[in-house]
A = this chain, B = another copy of it.
Amino acid sequence: MNFPEWMQHIQQRTERALEHCLPSKDLAPQRLHDAMRYSVLEGGKRVRPLLCHASGAVFGANAEALDTVGCAVELIHAYSLTHDDMPAMDNDVLRRGKPTCHIEFDEATALLVGDALQTLAFRLLASPLPDISETQQLTMVQLLADAAGSRGMAGGQAIDLASVGKRLTVAELEFMHLHKTGALIRAAVLLGAMCSKADATALDALGRYANRIGLLFQVIDDILDIEADTATLGKTAGKDVDNNKPTFCTLLGVAGAKTLASELRQGALSTLAELEKSGGECTRLRELTDFIVDRRH
């Protein structure tokens, strides 16, 4: 399978797994379940499940376990987007080319959708997983919770809110994004690897890879926010600059942001080279790194 085929294959099986784990629209409360499915299905590049599968493949994880773990991370991501789009936070009306959840349904429903998606993520990660010990699974639940909580993603959002209109240093901006988007991307990479025989040294290297990839993802997002248009992005272009939010482009200029992206990409790839020396199979992770850099939305 070449990379585009692999990516489509993982995206399709992730979609099926998400479809399967989300409650049916026919179950009460139907409107809530309808809105949960609306917020998760048929949208998104599924970058986190892709990272999960690519990272799991380094030391040969069970693909079904990776589906479940990838879904758990994606549900946390989807919950955070749903809450982030609400008027109290970013107040955005467009996401993945569709009206955001609180526009399509209502604010109270969007609030409950995010809440219930987070719960479902932990429900899923605590469900029986093939080839994984219960001890390991509890560690994985802890890891996802640490990545999502007040010292991870939710904390990053709080720092983001507090930084609107402020002039941050590049170090402060990196700190914010290492939490806001980086923590969950790191969790996707590590949880994928934890489904395999990756040892502590490998997990350490993958953690360093993930930190770079997480920042890289954000730097590219900031560049796209300026260079792409709303139709291509599927979300409102230029909104970070309009909202007076500090971005890598406002701090470094677009050219500087591109230099940083190139450095992060090199750093990520050299970490993968380390892993390959100890017998890891990093083809998919390397291709995915390039995909993150070269994407148009």
Contacts and interface: CB of A to CB of B under 8 A. Distances in A.
Interface string A18-36: 0000010001110111001
Interface stretch (A155-163, A231-239, A277-285): A155-163
Contacts of A162: 29, 31
A2 interface: no
Contacts of A89: 108, 111
A226 interface: no
Interface of A: 23, 27-29, 31-33, 36, 79-80, 83, 86, 88-89, 106-112, 114-116, 118-120, 122-123, 126-127, 133-135, 137-138, 141-142, 145-146, 148-151, 154-155, 157-159, 161-162
Contact of A109 (B27, B111, B118, B158): B158
A65 B25 CA distance: 37
A238 to B, nearest CB: 21
B115 A141 contact: no
Q: Is the interface of A mostly helix, strand, loop or mixed?
A: helix
A112 B159 CA distance: 11
A157 B27 CA distance: 15
Contacts of A110: 88
A262 B55 CA distance: 58
B32 A154 contact: yes
A142 B108 CA distance: 25
A99 to B, nearest CB: 17
A127 B142 contact: yes
24 contacts: A28-B155, A29-B159, A36-B150, A80-B115, A83-B115, A86-B111, A88-B88, A88-B108, A88-B111, A89-B108, A89-B111, A109-B158, A112-B157, A112-B158, A115-B118, A116-B150, A116-B155, A119-B154, A120-B145, A120-B149, A122-B122, A122-B145, A123-B145, A134-B137
A107 B135 CA distance: 38
A108 B28 contact: no
Nearest to A22: B150
A154 B119 CA distance: 9
Nearest to A156: B29
Given A108-B161, A138-B137, A119 B149 contact: yes
Contacts of A151: 23, 27
Nearest to A119: B149
A130 to B, nearest CB: 14
A176 to B, nearest CB: 10
A102 B158 CA distance: 14
A161 to B, nearest CB: 5
A137 B30 CA distance: 30
Contact of A119 (B106, B111, B150, B159): B150
Contact of A146 (B32, B88, B123, B149): B123
